[in-house]
Structure formats: C-alpha cells, structure tokens
Amino acid sequence: MPEPILLTPGPLTTTRRTKEAMLQDWGSWDQDFNALTAGVCARLTDIVGGADSHVCVPLQGSGTFAVEAALGTLVPVDGKVLVPNNGAYCQRVVRILNTLGRSCVVLPFGEDEPADPVRIARALADDPTITHVAQVHCETGTGILNPLPAIAEAVASQGRSLIVDAMSTFGLIPIDAARMPFDAVIAASGKCLEGVPGMGFVIARRVALEEAAGRCHSLALDLHDQWRYMQRTGQWRFTPPTHVLAALHEALDQYREEGGPPARLGRYARNCQALVAGMRALGLRTFLEDRFQAPVIVTFHAPTDPAYCFEELYARVKARGFILYPGKLTRVDTFRVGCIGAIDTRQIHAAVAAVGEALADMGVRHPANASGEAHP
Ligand SMILES: *Cc1c(COP(=O)(O)O)cnc(C)c1O
C-alpha cells in the first residue's frame, strides 16, 4: 500500500529526509543529543525573534500537553483567564482551565467570526481581576485566523498577560516577540514546521517563567522545573522523544533551505488557493469567508444530496491516496481538508480530482449546500 498523502492538520505529510532522520538512536544523556536539543530550542526561539527576552521549553507529548503545561505553570492559582472563543481549540483551553481549577471568563464569538480586539479590550477594562488572555491564533477547528497583533496590543494596553496557542501557525504566520508582547507562545513539532508529532514547546517570557517556580499543579507538566533542569544539565527531565527531536532538527534545516517563514507561507497559501478554487469548481462551498481563512485547513459544507456520507467519501478518497479530516462543528455538517505539510499544488490538484471522482462515484449530484448555490 503506497503511503497516503495526509490532508490533515497534524500529523501531516513529512519528507523522506525528515523520516530518515529517525533511523538513528540517541542516548538521552549523550552530549550530541544535548547539543541537538539546545540547537533546536535556539532555532525555535529565533523564529519568533525571542532570543533576548524569551526561552524555549520543550515538552514530551502532543500539543495539548504543552498548552496544559503553559496554563498550569504561568497562570497563578488566583489568576483569571479570558478566553475569546470561536471554536473547538478555544473550548479545549477552557476545559483545561476548568480542570486545573483556574478561573476563566469566556468571550463568545461565532465560529465563522474572528475574535475582536475591541471586544477583548472592553472585557478586560470591565473586569480588572482578569490577569491573562489565552488566545488561539488559528482556530484549527474551522481554519479561521484570529488577528493576533491587534489582540496582543489590546491585551498589553490593558496591562494583562497574553498566552497564545499558535499550534497551527508557528513558523507560518509571523509572530515577533520584539513587537508583540506575550508571556507564552505554544506550538508543537508536527504542524507547520513539518516534523513528526510527539513534542510540544513553549516560548515563554523568561521573567514570567522565573516567577512561576513551584506553581504548577503537575510534576510532569511543570515547565519551570523542565526549564531549570535543562539549564542545569542540558538534558530533558524524563525520557526525551529522541527520534522526534532528530526529525524536527532535520525539518528545521529544510525549513531554512526552503526560505523560512515567507516561503512556507507562500507554498501553503498556494495550496489553500488551489484547494478552494478546485473544490468550488466541484460545487462545494467553504464555511468561512475567504478573508478570514488561514492557509492551514479549510472547512467545507457537506453536500446535502442524500447520497453523500462523510465515511464513504473518506474511504473512496483514501483509496485514491489522500486522507481527509472530519468536521469539528456541532451545528453544521462539514468536513475539512488541510493544506499544510510537505505537499504542494500538485498533490492538492490530485486530491481535488480524487474528491470529484469519489463524489461522482457516490452519485452525489448537488454538492452545494441547500442554503446556497454552488460557486462557479
Ligand atoms: C493541533 C492543535 C493543538 C494540539 O492538539 P494535539 O492533538 O494535542 O496535538 C492545539 N491547538 C491547536 C490550535 C491545534 O491546531
């Protein structure tokens, strides 16, 4: 069975070179591996221009582990977090805060509407007891891009701290520590950097992290302890994801060779445009307005033709070599297609053709949602 192309927001399609970097074993105590960790952390910090003010703390696990670690370490027990909510990953932040017993205020937005910096500033002005804002940059549940620079400005103007879940934008959409104040930016190995999954990391403001000593509810998720131990010994506290780190190192080399953030953004933007144009030509409609769409993952309305069923579309498209992603919306029937990973418009065109063939084979005749005509 040939390897499928993953059109999902992580794990995603990686290059052969990145996969081959995992063919070597590493000792966790070994000098060479410690140097690999330090080098990767320095490069991750550089991506957001944080070398003077921020530190990178890597953490074993998927991205959510790093989100939970950042919230549990950086938000004090008597802190209060505002969560602008326009989707599933924002709701996950709320769930983490509830689990940790941290107060939280939800500022609701529509799932097709970006978080509004003006409403965020007003909510902060109205409640001086709010200490932090936890903002998801691209809400991967739909693919909507939240206006992070303006939100960061609103949060800073109200004198509060900002924690950013930049999982699906890190390395893609610029974040600049020198111009955008934040206490933490959280991301992971297996998204836009095109590594394999298994490692999260937090770019934390050094002073904020120093102040967090002994605060975390958890030993394994204590970012301050992880950072201090790594500073002292050069090693991870517990068994490191050695192969994941080696793959990320190799992926970062390719990221640089490709041309860094502008090149990656250009490639993903072309993927996204080709995907949206191709699917519209099939009669499918996007959930978001184009101006709010991040070039990360696109949500499409499910066809209303009774012959349509996501599981069958999935199976038929998989048989043609592509892996789709189910929708994550509760009220509207949708499915999602990612445009990130080691793919370009050739794979996107082939994937669109596969979707078109699959829908035709299923007998789906009116792909457009009943509430609107198909875009030409
Ligand atoms: C992928 C992602 C996460 C982390 O999800 P995991 O399944 O734990 O890797 C968190 N937030 C956003 C916005 C994401 O896209």
What is the number of the ligand 1 atom nearest to the C-alpha of 188? 9
100 shares a domain with 62: yes
The b-or-e profile of 226-240 (16+ CB within 10 A means b, else e) is bbbebeeeeebbeeb
Q: Of the residues 257, 276, 303, which one is the last residue of a structural domain?
A: 257
Give per-residue pLDDT as tens, 187-243: 999 999 999 999 999 999 999 999 999 999 999 999 999 999 999 999 999 999 999
Calculate the dihedral angle through the C-alpha atoms of 142, 341, 167, 352, rounding to the nearest 10 degrees: 0
Final residue before a domain boundary, out of 201, 222, 257: 257
User: Is 252 found in the same domain as 229?
Assistant: yes
Q: What is the mean pLDDT of residues 30-35?
A: 96
Cis? peptide before 58, omega within 30° of 0 = no
Q: Could you identify the atom of ligand 1 that is nearest to the CA of residue 191?
A: 1
- Domain containing 325: what range? 260-362
In a domain, 11, yes or no: no
What does the alpha-carbon distance between residue 257 and residue 255 come to, in Å, rounded to a whole number?
Answer: 6
Does the structure show a pLDDT above 70 at 254?
A: yes
Instruction: Name which residue sits closest to atom 2 of ligand 1, judged by CA.
Output: 167
- CATH code of the domain in which 62 resides: 3.40.640.10
**71 in any annotated domain:** yes
289 & 251 share domain: no
CA 30 to ligand 1 center in whole angstroms:
30
pLDDT higher than 90, residue 328: no
pTM of the model as a whole: 0.96
88 and 25 in a common domain: yes
Give the integer Cα–Cα distance in Å for 133 and 164: 8
Of the three residues 238, 257, 276, the one that is the final residue of a domain is 257
Task: With respect to residue 140, please indicate whether it lies within any of the assigned structural domains.
Answer: yes
User: How confident is residue 256, by pLDDT bands cut at 50, 70 and 90?
Assistant: very high
Q: Band of the pLDDT at 6, cuts 50, 70, 90?
A: very high
Q: Ligand 1 mean position to 358 CA, how many Å?
A: 29
Q: What percent of the chain has pLDDT over 70?
A: 97
* pLDDT tens, residue by residue, 46-80: 999 999 999 999 999 999 999 999 999 999 999 99
Ligand 1, residues 167, 191, 192, 201: which to mutate, most atoms within 8 A of Cβ?
167
- CA distance linking residue 24 with residue 4, whole number of Å: 24
111 CA distance to ligand 1 centroid (A)? 17
What is the distance in A from the centroid of ligand 1 to the CA of 347? 24
| 134: confidence class by pLDDT, cuts 50, 70, 90 | very high
**CB-based contacts of 86, cutoff 8 Å, min separation 6:** 108, 109, 110, 111, 113, 114, 115, 136, 139, 142, 144, 146
Return the pLDDT at 367.
74
- Pocket lined around ligand 1, Cβ cut-off 6 Å: 9-10, 62-64, 67, 89, 136, 140, 165, 167-168, 188
Domain count, the chain: 2
Residues 213 and 288 in one domain: no
The helix/strand/coil state of 366 is coil
Which atom of ligand 1 is nearest the CA belonging to 64? 8
Distance 180 CA to ligand 1 centre (A): 22
Give the distance (Å) from ligand 1 centre to CA of residue 318.
Answer: 23
What pLDDT was estimated at residue 375?
Answer: 42
Same domain, 154 and 189: yes
269 and 163 in a common domain: no
Provide the pLDDT confidence category of residue 1 given band limits of 50, 70 and 90. low
CA atoms of 83 and 115, how far apart (whole Å): 10
Q: Is residue 374 domain-resident?
A: no
Average pLDDT over residues 110-139: 98
Residues 247, 270, single domain; the answer is: no
Q: 288 and 192 share a domain?
A: no
Average pLDDT score, the chain: 96
